[in-house]
């Protein structure tokens, strides 16, 4: 339908719209009008994605000055889903706006790594992302192509036609046909308007003989909608080469952004293990060798580099082969625009510098005690011990990338360890605040096995987000679970113009959250540290699952607080015979840390649910399953959250971060921990409701959920359905509630219910005339 | 309108749950008994068989047959033993296919499962068996007592049946009895076919005399005689034990077909209607001597006196058939429309 929203014509591809979608659009539009950032929470299953797309593309149409829509997703499947919905929307819009040139057609594309886009027959077969990148570089680096071009020209003058075939191997130098095709087409290589998913891009590339990856990168400048991963926006290493060119007027959307602070932190954190350092040492040896060889073969090249560094050209990007790799890990605003200091301009000197730094790190890692330092202390120690100063460290990364390019190294995947070390050095050198350097000689869980890790951990999520907020006019952060919503602006340190949490209008009470605090024997249940080992508690948890599997049909998902606790409790349940009892009703599948195993378990879980056998999936909060896998419809008729999924509070990194949050943002430790735990729990239980036609039980099995500090942090759309009577149940009462609920939900229900939970075009027109939804709330009913 | 229905009762572990009073099984068996009676009442020509699911197997209790009391007698909790083990939907589907496949195509083939369990433990893929059911035009319906099970929903949707989950005892009864009226005919079954049937006469022997009747040669005082082979059968409807002819009576046929040809509803009598009717009725031969009444009006069904429409102090509501224009009292109206499914006035040849 097409309707008027405060003067903006919105194209929405469905006949009816939910009231909350309408409210969401209204809020979003006001935020865009105010040119500010906004934070919007709306439950999953209410068509958030299509609402966003529909409003923003309509807004773009009406306001030509608004730039691209940059839509950030977490995973490739999510990206595909967004593009599919967009395609539907565009198809619908074409009915009103027509097709062909001049009809405001949209170009939308998904962008991903080479791993997902490469169509080179050999390179695309490579296993990991790094090896595909390296494989690509081997074929497309500028010096490789120059050399091939030289050989071709020599070949044509000497031998005639034989080297003239443009693609494939020229002599022994191999090039990528597709890249060459794209290069030849130059600026002419354009995508016609339309919506391109990753596979569409690959098909298009194959048809025209153009490289889809570079085509997509090239077309970003012309696209109206770009869908890509969070990293491309947040991680400075990636965003500098991909997102630098984007104009200020762009609208940036972060979908499923409840974990955005963790993504930000990861983007600026570096972990070094013992193996990394060893490999970095080997890298250094290799580099020294090639420097020596280069010096013998072509001393002029190294000299040229030296001269360039003296002139400070590196900062201006005039470096040959300045393609998109090895970008600085620090944020753009913090990158120093000075010439490289004299003590590392020479390649040999730089090698020496790296050797010293590496030795220092190795030395640090040999320490048998856990240490936690601020960057200043670390730098001071560095200065004392090996005479390396912070200023030089800052340039480490740029210097290394310059060197690798000068030496014409293409197999970059081999040099990842030394790059990590350089990352570390640059970050330590650049930031004095908001970081901690933590050294753990062994894993806390296995103190007898030495496994030293040196971590440079970012403590401040706002650091990575700051350039995004300051660069772009409107940033939209949205998810199904952003509660408590006022905490996010503080953690990310920004001022939203709109903060809003939307409710789901339902035609029936299709979610039934309950808090189970006691077992059938009235003993309290909790995963509190003092209680979790108690066999009584474990048995009560087991009984809960047994009783539940007897009354809930098809799939049940159970989340535990950690792998360790899950292992422990499953072993206990086995001894108590609880697993066998569950098996009488349902099959049991368990998530493990192995991805392949888990995928297989999930697959069989789905089959068991499909064929009516019924199954229980035991999983872990914060695990892969809790974050990305949906248990909609019959795959999840009930979800149990055993305990409150607190982070491992003894972790040094968490301690450091909590301290930092307290000092900088005045966020109390307990508040943050509870917030984080409850958001994970909400994520887990939210897995079962994926649409309005769906229904499911949500069982919080811990007495601590009864307390206000936990309950208030749950998203409103869950708490609204949490009845007063369901907040303090024992297992047998819960079973009774479940039975009644499932019976009631099994009754046929009228999907239509037009007017109550769906608004038609006419109803919207009336609303608009009456002055908005709040002014005439009853008009829609 | 002939139905062949296999009723499968779940006697797995879940049937011993006590959320229905006194427990699921007793409640279900009781309701099944009334369902069977109602089924034969509504579809006298149809046949029904019973099986139970227990221990992962399906046990056949009775073959398809047309007599309600023999079936009802089998559904006794005492004789069936206690519920145990898992339920297997696939075995039930397979049994229905093997039983119903060879039946004549003009009948409706149906499987009705009363499902207490929440899971089915099958030897293979239950959806393959569902496909076989669909291929054989078997309509699978499920009445659940606990919660919605996805596989039941899917199978019933695929085969065109219905799926309901009972909220309580009353709702369960409603759901079950809803299956006693026949489902809408599907296009695959719509083709016309002739079925040979006999309409035997009830022998009018003296009340004190008795003859040997039927296969078991029981000594009975009344019986029916097959019009083809003159064998005596005890009750209708049945198949003749000698020549295999289907023997029924006209009301049976009418009851079976009332879903297709319902008796037109009677309307409340009024002065205008009565005058119009009198004009029609005057030209018809009277059925018998008029019944002398004080009001001058009597019910055509029970010959009881009824008051004239619109008369002062009218005691009973009177109704009139729109076709044969005869007057009926309220009780006869209920009897005609709910049980007889024949209008006596129209049958008499009024029109």
DSSP characters over B281-343:
HTTSPPSSSPPP-SSS-B-TTT--B-PPTT-TT--S-EEE-TTT--EEEHHHHHHIIIII-S-
The 8-class DSSP code of residue A228 comes to E
Interfacial B residues in 86-125 facing A (CB < 8 Å): 89, 118-122, 125
B224 and B321 housed in the same domain: no
Instruction: Write out chain B residues lying below 8 Å of A637, CB-based.
Output: 147
Boundary-marking domain end, from B120, B152, B180: B180
Q: Do B166 and A743 touch (CB under 8 A)?
A: yes
Question: Radius of gyration (Cα) for chain A, nearest Å?
Answer: 29
Q: Does residue B152 belong to the interface with chain A, where contact is any CB pair within 8 Å?
A: yes
Q: Does residue B10 belong to the interface with chain A, where contact is any CB pair within 8 Å?
A: no
Residue A459: both structure tokens together? 């403590």
Q: What is the pLDDT of residue A544?
A: 94
Q: Do A612 and B126 touch (CB under 8 A)?
A: yes
Q: Do B119 and A553 touch (CB under 8 A)?
A: yes
Q: Which residues pair with A615 in a beta bridge?
A: A555, A587
Q: Does residue B217 belong to the interface with chain A, where contact is any CB pair within 8 Å?
A: no
What is the nearest CA distance from B179 to chain A, expressed in angstroms? 17
pLDDT score of A80 more than 50: yes
| Residue B92 forms part of a structural domain | yes
| Residue B216 forms part of a structural domain | yes
Q: What is the dihedral of CA A724, A726, A728, A733, to 10 degrees?
A: 140
| Vertex A640: Cα angle to A638 and A645 (nearest 5) | 145
Q: What is the pLDDT of residue A773?
A: 52
Q: Do B146 and A739 touch (CB under 8 A)?
A: yes
B319 and B272 housed in the same domain: yes
Burial class (CB in 10 A: 0-12, 13-18, 19+), B113: buried
| Residue B239 forms part of a structural domain | yes
Best of B15, B119, B121, B151 to disrupt the A interface (most A CBs within 10 Å) is B119
Q: Do B150 and A553 touch (CB under 8 A)?
A: yes
Q: Do A552 and B148 touch (CB under 8 A)?
A: no
Q: Where are the beta strands (DSSP E) in A447-531?
A: 450-458, 474-479, 496-501, 511-518
Q: What is the pLDDT of residue A441?
A: 84
Instruction: Write out chain A residues lying below 8 Å of B150, CB-based.
Output: 553-554, 609-610, 612, 633-634
Q: Do B144 and A634 touch (CB under 8 A)?
A: no
Boundary-marking domain end, from B154, B180, B206: B180
pLDDT score of A600 more than 70: yes
Q: What is the dihedral of CA B116, B119, B124, B129, to 10 degrees?
A: 50
A101-123 pLDDT, tens digit each: 666 778 898 888 888 888 888 88
Q: Does residue B170 belong to the interface with chain A, where contact is any CB pair within 8 Å?
A: no
Q: Do A612 and B19 touch (CB under 8 A)?
A: no
Angstrom CA distances, A573 to A235, A376, A519, A580, stand at 43, 50, 15, 9
Residue B4: both structure tokens together? 């062949």
Neighbours of B168 (CB within 10 A): 13
pTM: 0.82
Instruction: Return d(Cα A481, Cα B316) in angstroms, integer.
Output: 67
Task: Name which of B13, B126, B146 is nearest A611 (Cβ-Cβ).
Answer: B126
B302 and B228 housed in the same domain: no
How much is the average pLDDT of A583-603? 92
Q: How far is Cα of residue A81 from the mean position of the Cα atoms in its chain?
A: 15
How much is the average pLDDT of A78-94? 89
Average pLDDT of the residues of chain A: 84
pLDDT score of A398 more than 50: yes
pLDDT score of A319 more than 70: no
Best of B10, B16, B17, B150 to disrupt the A interface (most A CBs within 10 Å) is B150
How much is the average pLDDT of A505-517? 87
Are A655 and A470 in contact, with CB atoms under 8 Å apart? no
Q: Which residue positions in chain B have pLDDT lower than 70?
A: 1, 185-193, 204-207, 284-291, 310-316, 349-351
Are A764 and A17 in contact, with CB atoms under 8 Å apart? yes
Q: What is the pLDDT of residue A449?
A: 80
Q: Which domain holds residue B330?
A: 267-350
Share of residues in chain A with pLDDT > 90 (%) = 23
Instruction: Write out chain A residues lying below 8 Å of B118, CB-based.
Output: 550-554, 585, 614
B140 and B274 housed in the same domain: no
H or E stretch including A83? helix A76-97
Q: Do B147 and A634 touch (CB under 8 A)?
A: no
| Residue B291 forms part of a structural domain | yes
Cβ neighbors of A105 (< 8 A, separation 6 or more) are A90, A94, A97, A99, A193, A194
The model's confidence at residue A163, banded by pLDDT at 50, 70 and 90, is very low
Instruction: Return d(Cα A224, Cα A67) in angstroms, integer.
Output: 7
Instruction: Write out chain A residues lying below 8 Å of B146, CB-based.
Output: 551, 553, 739, 742-743
Q: Which residue of A has its CA nearest to B154?
A: A610
Q: Do B118 and A634 touch (CB under 8 A)?
A: no
pLDDT score of A127 more than 90: no
| Residue B310 forms part of a structural domain | yes
Task: Name which of B121, B149, B166 is nearest A553 (Cβ-Cβ).
Answer: B149
Residue bearing the bigger pLDDT, A324 or B163: B163
A80-94, A144-158, A426-440, range with the lowest pLDDT: A144-158
Residue bearing the bigger pLDDT, A586 or A247: A586
Closest CA to A291 of A343, A345, A340, A347: A347
Q: Does residue B150 belong to the interface with chain A, where contact is any CB pair within 8 Å?
A: yes
What is the nearest CA distance from A256 to chain B, expressed in angstroms? 29
pLDDT score of A97 more than 90: no
Burial class (CB in 10 A: 0-12, 13-18, 19+), A482: buried
Angstrom CA distances, A611 to A232, A555, B10, B129, B130, stand at 41, 11, 18, 11, 11
B203 and B334 housed in the same domain: no
Q: What is the pLDDT of residue B58?
A: 93
How much is the average pLDDT of A113-141? 83
Q: What is the pLDDT of residue B186?
A: 58
Cβ neighbors of A217 (< 8 A, separation 6 or more) are A111, A242, A324
A185-211 pLDDT, tens digit each: 877 778 888 889 888 899 988 888 888
CB pairs < 8 Å spanning A and B? 71
B30 and B172 housed in the same domain: yes
Q: Does residue B31 belong to the interface with chain A, where contact is any CB pair within 8 Å?
A: no
Q: What is the pLDDT of residue A172?
A: 63
| Vertex A237: Cα angle to A232 and A239 (nearest 5) | 30
Instruction: Write out chain B residues lying below 8 Å of A585, CB-based.
Output: 118-119
A151-155, A229-233, B160-164, B298-302, range with the lowest pLDDT: A151-155
Q: What is the pLDDT of residue A258?
A: 87
Q: Is the peptide bond before A663 cis (omega within 30 degrees of 0)?
A: no
Beta-carbon-side half-sphere exposure of residue B309 (alpha carbons within 13 Å): 19
ipTM exceeds 0.90 = no
* Number of structural domains chain B divides into: 3
B86 and B34 housed in the same domain: yes
Instruction: Write out chain B residues lying below 8 Å of A609, CB-based.
Output: 150
Judging by DSSP bridges, how do beta strands A555-560 and A638-642 pair with one another? parallel
Instruction: Return d(Cα B239, Cα B62) in angstroms, integer.
Output: 17
Q: Which residue of B has its CA nearest to A586?
A: B119
Task: Name which of B118, B127, B167 is nearest A614 (Cβ-Cβ).
Answer: B118
How much is the average pLDDT of A310-325? 49
Q: Which residues pair with A196 in a beta bridge?
A: A109
Judging by DSSP bridges, how do beta strands A371-373 and A194-196 pair with one another? unpaired
Angstrom CA distances, B293 to B39, B273, B284, B296, stand at 40, 20, 20, 5
Q: Do A612 and B151 touch (CB under 8 A)?
A: yes
Instruction: Return d(Cα B342, Cα B336) in angstroms, integer.
Output: 6
B235 and B121 housed in the same domain: no
Q: What is the pLDDT of residue A323?
A: 43
A729-742 pLDDT, tens digit each: 999 999 999 999 99
CATH code of the domain in which B83 resides: 3.40.50.410
B98 and B163 housed in the same domain: yes
A71-85, A330-344, B334-348, range with the lowest pLDDT: A330-344
3-state secondary structure of A708: helix
Q: Do B148 and A609 touch (CB under 8 A)?
A: no
Q: What is the pLDDT of residue A776?
A: 39
H or E stretch including A226? strand A225-229
Instruction: Write out chain B residues lying below 8 Å of A611, CB-based.
Output: 120, 122, 125-127, 151
Instruction: Return d(Cα A776, Cα A774) in angstroms, integer.
Output: 5
pLDDT score of A164 more than 50: no
| Residue B187 forms part of a structural domain | no
Q: Does residue B167 belong to the interface with chain A, where contact is any CB pair within 8 Å?
A: yes
Q: What is the pLDDT of residue A518?
A: 92
B328 and B216 housed in the same domain: no
3-state secondary structure of A13: coil
Q: Do A553 and B166 touch (CB under 8 A)?
A: no
A123-137, A426-440, A536-550, range with the lowest pLDDT: A123-137
| Residue B59 forms part of a structural domain | yes
| Residue B185 forms part of a structural domain | no
What is the nearest CA distance from A611 to chain B, expressed in angstroms? 6
B160 and B17 housed in the same domain: yes
Longest dimension (CA), chain A: 93
Instruction: Return d(Cα A82, Cα A19) in angstroms, integer.
Output: 21
Neighbours of B36 (CB within 10 A): 23
Best of A611, A631, A749 to disrupt the B interface (most B CBs within 10 Å) is A611
H or E stretch including A537? helix A535-551
CATH code of the domain in which B278 resides: 3.30.40.10
Cβ neighbors of A350 (< 8 A, separation 6 or more) are A344, A399, A400, A403
Instruction: Write out chain A residues lying below 8 Å of B126, CB-based.
Output: 611-612
B123 and B80 housed in the same domain: yes
A630-686 pLDDT, tens digit each: 888 899 999 999 999 998 888 888 888 898 989 888 888 888 999 999 989 988 998
Q: What share of chain B is helix, strand, coil (3-state, %, to 5)?
A: 35, 20, 45
């Amino acid at each position: 339908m097409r309707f008027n929203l405060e003067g903006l014509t919105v194209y929405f591809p469905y006949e009816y719209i939910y009231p909350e979608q309408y409210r969401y659009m209204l809020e979003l539009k006001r935020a865009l009008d105010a040119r500010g950032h906004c934070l919007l929470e709306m439950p999953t299953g209410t068509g958030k994605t299509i609402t966003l797309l529909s409003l923003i593309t309509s807004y773009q149409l009406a306001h030509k000055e608004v730039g691209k829509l940059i839509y950030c997703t977490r995973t490739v499947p999510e990206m595909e889903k967004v593009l599919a919905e967009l395609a539907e929307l565009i198809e619908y819009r074409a009915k009103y706006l027509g097709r062909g040139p001049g009809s405001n057609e949209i170009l939308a594309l998904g962008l991903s790594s080479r791993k997902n886009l490469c169509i080179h027959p050999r390179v695309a077969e490579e296993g990991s992302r790094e090896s595909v990148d390296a494989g690509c570089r081997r074929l497309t680096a500028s010096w490789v192509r120059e050399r091939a071009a030289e050989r071709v020209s020599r070949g044509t003058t000497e031998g005639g036609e034989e080297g003239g075939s443009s693609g494939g191997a020229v002599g022994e130098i191999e090039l990528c046909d597709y890249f060459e095709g794209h290069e030849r087409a130059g600026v002419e290589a354009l995508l016609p308007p339309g919506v391109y998913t990753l596979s569409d891009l690959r098909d298009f590339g194959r048809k025209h003989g153009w490289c889809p990856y570079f085509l997509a990168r090239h077309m970003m400048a012309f696209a109206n909608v770009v869908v890509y991963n969070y990293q491309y926006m947040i991680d400075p290493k990636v965003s500098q080469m991909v997102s630098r060119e984007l104009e200020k007027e762009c609208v940036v959307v972060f979908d499923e952004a409840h974990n955005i602070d963790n993504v930000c932190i990861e983007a600026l954190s570096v972990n070094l293990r013992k193996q990394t350092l060893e490999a970095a040492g080997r890298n250094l040896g290799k580099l020294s060798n090639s420097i020596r060889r280069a010096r013998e073969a072509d001393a002029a090249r190294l000299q040229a580099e030296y001269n360039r560094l003296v002139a400070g050209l590196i900062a201006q990007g005039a470096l040959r082969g300045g393609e998109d790799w090895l970008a600085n890990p620090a944020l753009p605003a913090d990158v120093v625009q000075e010439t490289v200091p004299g003590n590392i301009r020479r390649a040999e000197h730089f090698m020496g510098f790296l050797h010293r730094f590496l030795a220092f790190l190795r030395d640090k890692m040999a320490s048998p005690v856990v240490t936690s330092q601020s960057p200043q202390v670390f730098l001071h120690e560095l200065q004392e011990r090996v005479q390396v100063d912070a200023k030089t460290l800052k340039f480490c990364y740029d210097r290394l990338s310059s060197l690798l390019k000068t030496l014409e190294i293409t197999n970059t995947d081999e040099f990842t360890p030394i790059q990590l070390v350089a990352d570390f050095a640059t970050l330590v050198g650049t930031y004095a605040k908001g970081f901690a350097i933590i050294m753990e000689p062994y894993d806390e869980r296995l103190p007898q096995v030495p496994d030293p890790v040196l971590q440079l951990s970012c403590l401040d999520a706002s650091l990575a987000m700051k350039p995004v907020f300051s660069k772009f006019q409107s940033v939209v952060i949205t998810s199904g679970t952003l509660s408590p919503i006022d905490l996010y602006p503080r953690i990310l340190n920004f001022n939203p113009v709109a903060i809003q949490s939307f409710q789901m209008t339902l035609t029936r009470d299709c979610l039934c959250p309950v808090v189970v605090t006691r077992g059938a024997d009235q003993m309290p249940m909790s995963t509190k540290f003092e209680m979790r080992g108690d066999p009584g508690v474990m048995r009560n948890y087991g009984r809960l699952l047994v009783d539940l599997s007897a009354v809930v049909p098809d799939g049940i998902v159970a989340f535990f607080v950690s792998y360790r606790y899950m292992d422990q409790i499953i072993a206990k349940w086995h001894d108590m015979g609880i697993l066998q009892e569950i098996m009488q009703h349902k099959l049991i599948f368990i998530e493990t840390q192995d991805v392949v195993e888990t995928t297989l378990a999930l697959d069989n879980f789905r089959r068991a649910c499909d064929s009516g056998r019924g199954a229980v999936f035991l999983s872990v909060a914060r695990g892969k399953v809790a974050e990305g896998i949906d248990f909609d419809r019959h795959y999840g008729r009930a979800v149990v959250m055993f305990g409150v999924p607190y982070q491992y509070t003894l972790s040094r990194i968490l301690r450091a971060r909590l301290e930092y949050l307290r000092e900088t943002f005045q966020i109390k430790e307990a508040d943050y921990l509870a917030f984080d735990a409850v958001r994970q729990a909400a994520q887990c239980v939210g897995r079962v409701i994926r649409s309005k036609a769906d229904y499911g039980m949500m069982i919080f099995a811990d007495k601590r959920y009864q307390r206000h500090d936990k309950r208030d942090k749950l998203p409103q759309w869950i708490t609204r359905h949490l009845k007063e009577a369901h907040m303090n149940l024992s297992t047998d009462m819960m079973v009774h509630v479940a039975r009644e609920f499932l019976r009631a939900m099994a009754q046929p229900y009228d999907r239509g219910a037009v007017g109550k939970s769906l608004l038609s075009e006419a109803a919207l027109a009336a609303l608009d005339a009456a002055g908005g939804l709040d002014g005439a709330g009853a008009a829609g009913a | 309108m002939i139905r062949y229905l296999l009723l499968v009762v779940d006697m797995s572990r879940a049937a011993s749950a006590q959320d229905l009073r006194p427990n699921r099984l007793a409640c279900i068996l009781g309701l099944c008994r009334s369902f069977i009676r109602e089924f034969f009442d509504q579809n006298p020509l149809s046949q029904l068989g019973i099986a139970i699911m227990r221990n992962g197997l399906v046990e056949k209790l009775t073959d398809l047959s047309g007599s309600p009391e023999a079936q009802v007698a089998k559904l006794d909790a005492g004789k069936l033993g206690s519920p145990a083990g898992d339920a297997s939907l696939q075995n039930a589907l397979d049994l229905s296919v093997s039983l119903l496949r060879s039946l004549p195509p003009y009948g409706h083939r149906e499987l009705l499962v009363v499902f207490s369990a929440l899971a089915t433990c099958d030897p293979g893929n239950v959806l393959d068996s569902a496909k076989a059911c669909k291929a054989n035009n078997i309509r699978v319906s499920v009445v659940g007592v606990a919660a919605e099970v996805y596989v039941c929903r899917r199978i019933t949707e695929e085969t065109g049946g219905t799926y309901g989950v009972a909220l309580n005892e009353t709702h369960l009864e409603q759901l079950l009895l809803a299956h006693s009226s026949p489902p809408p005919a599907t296009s695959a079954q719509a083709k016309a076919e002739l079925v040979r049937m006999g309409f035997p006469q009830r022998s009018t022997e003296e009340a004190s005399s008795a003859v040997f009747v039927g296969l078991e040669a029981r000594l009975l005082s009344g019986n029916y005689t097959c019009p083809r082979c003159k064998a005596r059968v005890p009750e209708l409807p049945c198949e003749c034990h000698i020549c295999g002819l289907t023997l029924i009576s006209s009301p049976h046929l009418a009851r079976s077909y009332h879903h297709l040809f319902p008796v037109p509803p009677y309307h409340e009598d009024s002065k205008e209607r009565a005058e119009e009717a009198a004009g029609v009725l005057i030209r018809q031969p009277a059925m018998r001597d008029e019944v002398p009444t004080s009001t001058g009006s009597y019910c055509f069904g029970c010959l009881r006196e009824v008051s004239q429409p619109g008369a002062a102090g009218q005691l009973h509501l009177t109704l009139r058939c729109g076709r044969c224009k005869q007057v009926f009292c309220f009780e006869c109206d209920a009897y005609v429309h709910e049980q007889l499914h024949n209008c006596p006035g129209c049958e008499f040849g009024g029109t």
